[in-house]
Chain A
Amino acid sequence: GESVGLHLPTLSVQEGDNSIINCAYSNSASDYFIWYKQESGKGPQFIIDIRSNMDKRQGQRVTVLLNKTVKHLSLQIAATQPGDSAVYFCAEPVTSGTYKYIFGTGTRLKVLA
């Protein structure tokens, strides 16, 4: 069945450096992906999304890259700040008869001062 997984459970990054969070998916027919950020005590917040007809999409300090050949997704955060510390999830909608998200386990990003 479909699955969305993350390569690393925890990522520690020096403040000011760039962060790269990875995600692998198994359903080659997937056509939409979303990244969420969850801060402690809060719910997941939408960061950025990408459709399968794109390879790259940029937001404010964030870039999502999609490699359909190897079914890999990454979230790049430029100039990582302390406020970026959170758990990041990639998610993939299942749209056949429903509209639910399949989430990965999540990657905890720790920003070191």
Chain B
Amino acid sequence: EAGVTQFPSHSVIEKGQTVTLRCDPISGHDNLYWYRRVMGKEIKFLLHFVKESKQDESGMPNNRFLAERTGGTYSTLKVQPAELEDSGVYFCASSRSTGVGETQYFGPGTRLLVL
């Protein structure tokens, strides 16, 4: 079974540019999550999809961030326009369902550097 994959692995952009990150969850996992780790800090939740619907987007920093999951398969996270403080590692995770004992499986992350 293939794990969660993310693309690109690294991205270096200038302030004001746009970047789109992609996540492919484990096949059959309806639940998809985005997290972010800013340098030296904890991993923080951004949002949660159940199939194509946003279940919880309480962690999205501001309206420069837009996540989509059209068709309920892969997801994209767009940052437009990017700011310096958006630099960090963006992780995607997926799970088959939710609830106690349900593990989230993480992808390798996209390392974003905004200059």
Contacts and interface: CB of A to CB of B under 8 A. Distances in A.
Interface string A7-38: 00000000000000000000000011010100
Interface residues on B, range: 20 to 34
B108 A97 contact: no
B108 A43 contact: yes
Contacts of A103: 35, 42-44
Contacts of A36: 106
Contact of B56 (A32, A100, A104): A100
B99 A99 contact: yes
Given A36-B106, A43-B107, A102 B45 contact: yes
B108 A100 contact: no
Nearest to B108: A43
Interface of B: 4, 6, 31, 33, 35, 40-45, 48, 55-56, 58-59, 91, 95, 98-109
